[in-house]
């Protein structure tokens, strides 16, 4: 999950060096936190949250194949 979200986020932002992804696993639950620069928050969230929801959907599909559940938090870095 971590590498998937990191790849997508770095492809979207202007400052890819500020992208940080952390992944924590609690049994079957995987929690992913994405930190991006303040000026890139809009790009990662998208209009009406469409980009963020698309990333969550990708994670859900990848997790379902492994029998896991996922959550994604997007946090402003800095």
SS3 of 74, please? strand
pLDDT digits (tens, 9 = 90+) for 11-35: 999 999 999 999 999 999 999 999 9
For 32-52, the pLDDT digits (tens) are 999 999 999 999 999 999 999
Model pTM score: 0.88
The CATH H-level superfamily of 2-76 is K homology (KH) domain (3.30.300.20)
Domain ranges of the chain: 2-76
Residue 20: HSE in the Cβ half-sphere, 13 Å Cα cutoff:
9
List Cα–Cα distances, 68 to 12, 34, 53, 61, 73, in angstroms.
26, 19, 18, 10, 17
């Amino acid at each position: 999950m971590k590498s998937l979200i990191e790849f997508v986020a770095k492809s979207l932002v202007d400052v890819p060096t500020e992208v940080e992804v952390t992944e924590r696993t609690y049994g079957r639950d995987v929690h992913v936190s994405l930190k991006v620069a303040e000026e890139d928050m809009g790009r990662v969230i998208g209009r009406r949250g469409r980009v963020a929801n698309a990333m969550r959907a990708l994670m859900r599909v990848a997790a379902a194949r492994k029998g896991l559940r996922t959550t994604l938090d997007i946090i402003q870095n800095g």
